[in-house]
Amino acid sequence: MRKLTATNLQELADELNAIDQECVDHNFEGGFDPQYLYDASSLPNFGGEKPKDTFEIYSEIYSWDEKNFLRYDEEWFITPRKEEIR
């Protein structure tokens, strides 16, 4: 597994998208498959309370900080916490 170097949520989204693109560029050959390069269920978090809709429950939120959530839908993206599903 690759060691992720992100120090904030935006860097994490950018890093994961770059890894995913690298996998696409290599046609998922030779170990280039995201599921072998990082574990999406254990990404780092950057502060704030744990949201209700985390990966373990709804496969919605993979990481967070005090103001935002990291989600995935064909690419990694950030949404404001105020959009949390209740």
**3: in domain:** no
Residues of the domain holding 43: 9-83
Determine the 3-state secondary structure of 37 from DSSP. Answer: helix
CB atoms within 10 A of CB 32: 16
The model's pLDDT over 24-56, given as tens digits with 9 standing for 90+, comes to 777 766 555 566 788 888 999 999 988 875 555
> How many structural domains are present in the chain?
1
Cα gap 76→41, rounded to integer Å: 13
Alpha carbon distance 41, 60 (integer Å):
11
Q: Do the domain assignments include residue 20?
A: yes
| In a domain? residue 37 | yes
pLDDT tens digits, one per residue of 54-63: 555 445 889 9
Position 43 in a domain = yes
pLDDT at 3 > cutoff 60: yes
